[in-house]
Structure 1
Amino acid sequence: MTVVIATQLRPDRLDHLTAMYESLTRQSVPWEAVIALDGADRTRLPTPLAGDSRVCILALPRQVGAACARNLALGCVRTEFVNWADDDDEFTDDAMAVRLRTLEMTGLGWCAGYSEDLHPDGSASLWRCPTPPGRHEAGDVWTYWTRPEDTIPIGPTTILARTDLVRAAPMGGLVQGEDYMAAIGVTCLAPSLRATLSGRETSDAAGVV
């Protein structure tokens, strides 16, 4: 499986990106990563990522935004399954193994889980998306997003999906929320299982950043 990460290599996020990479190295299943540098200077890439043959670097000559950078990175994915991630995310040690095993055993198109917000003091709080655990048919997930002001129905970065489904539901060019709409697109294309804890995202007192 492949993790796709778009980043501008902002100085305040480099430590988070390194932590993301370290969480990948603790996974028990084979993985690859595609890092889309959104107009960023490649020399700022943390050394551990730059030296790992499992990490493909796609250096874009100018900033195109997260949505376009992620879409372009999909062209470098060689594996059957793919997962989006932000440059301040981390995966729990069994996240990939649990979700990959689920997809291989069931033949479903995607699976997803809960996530945690990781706070500056080291504590974490579980975020439970409105979509309940269990099997969901194609098109079910969006029904849990009944009003625009409601929280999103599922965490986009917790979704592990077949690569062909992700390519069929590319991210739109929105300023914000492009990953939410891509998640809705993927979940409308194939049935799924939503059950596992997938990872953590750095947050501050005001919420996820």
Structure 2
Amino acid sequence: MITVVIASRLREDRLDYLTAMHASLTRQSVGWEAVIALDGASPDRLPAPLAQDPRVRTLALPRSVGAACARNLALAHVRTRYTNWADDDDEFTDDAMSVRLNTLESTGGGWCAGWSEDQYPDGSTTLWRCPTPPGRHEAGDVWTYWKSPADTIPIGPTTILARTDLVRAASMGGLVQGEDYCAALGVTALASGILLPTPVYKYRKWGGQMTAQVAYDQLEAAAREHAWQYGRSLRAVLRRGEDLVHV
């Protein structure tokens, strides 16, 4: 029912975290697959638990193309009704898939999301409640909870389980960072969905994460501005019911 799409360069300092991500998937109570886009990395470096799991498939890219491109190319290999983005250094909670899948199947919505937890090196966690409140949200409404590009993003991109057709229609933005902001805004603009007041994703806080890199702040403001404008414009166009084919 669900495919988790992950991009990875299989860096040495991330292999144990990727193994932990896989372990969190094995604890799910519903059927899943994973497609790992190897961003210029050799499949030989894939940790043994993943290499030996028939539910895990890889897309080996001949050179590094960046996370956004790698993730988008992996979408062509998704063969399930629902898709979830994930990073190679994070984890899902044990009931992440079942609680959102059951909600989607019972309500008929296009997407279902939850809260996330920041996970620290000592194993402790703190809950992050996104600005979007729990409950049902009509198409385009999630963007309204992002008041300014400088504010916290309105919903966690990796907490969203969505119909694959929506994910393909609103895939990762063509950015070197913040591409997942565009993906989250696109999916939630195209269909109604539900945010659950429960954590479904563990976001690892450590020195190797992108947000901890020295150059991260150089483009973050511009990436947020682009994603914010994208969300606003997409919502406005869809609300007007414009026929894009004839624009």
- Fold in common (TM above 0.5): yes
CA distance in structure 2 between the partners assigned to 1:122 and 1:94 by the alignment = 19
The answer for the alignment partner of 1:157 in structure 2 is 158
Higher strand share: 1
CA distance in structure 2 between the partners assigned to 1:106 and 1:96 by the alignment = 15
Residue pair 1:119, 1:205 contacting (<8 A) in 2 also: no
The TM-score with structure 1 as length reference comes to 0.97
C-alpha deviation, 1:122, in angstroms:
1.1
The answer for the alignment partner of 2:171 in structure 1 is 170
Letter aligned with residue 184 of structure 1? L
The TM-score with structure 2 as length reference comes to 0.82
- Describe how 1:52-201 pairs up with structure 2 within 5 A: 52-195=53-196, 196-201=198-203
CA distance in structure 1 between the partners assigned to 2:27 and 2:205 by the alignment = 22
Residue pair 2:127, 2:199 contacting (<8 A) in 1 also: no
Letter aligned with residue 200 of structure 1? K
Letter aligned with residue 200 of structure 2? S
Q: Which runs of 4+ in 1 moved over 6 A?
A: none
CA distance in structure 2 between the partners assigned to 1:104 and 1:129 by the alignment = 23
CA separation of 1:72 and 1:206: change in aligned 2, threshold 3 A: closer
Higher helix share: 2
CA distance in structure 2 between the partners assigned to 1:3 and 1:134 by the alignment = 24
- Choose 1 or 2 for highest CA Rg: 2
Question: Which consecutive residues of structure 1, in runs of 5 or more, have no partner in the other structure?
Answer: none
Q: Name the count of aligned residue pairs.
A: 209
Q: Which protein, 1 or 2, shows the higher relative CO under an 8 Å CA cutoff with sep ≥ 6?
A: 1
Question: Which consecutive residues of structure 2, in runs of 5 or more, have no partner in the other structure?
Answer: 213-247
Identity %: 73
The answer for the alignment partner of 1:29 in structure 2 is 30
C-alpha deviation, 1:185, in angstroms:
0.4
Q: Deviations over 1:118-173 (max 9, x none)?
A: 10111101111000000000000011111111000000000000000000012122
C-alpha deviation, 1:204, in angstroms:
3.3
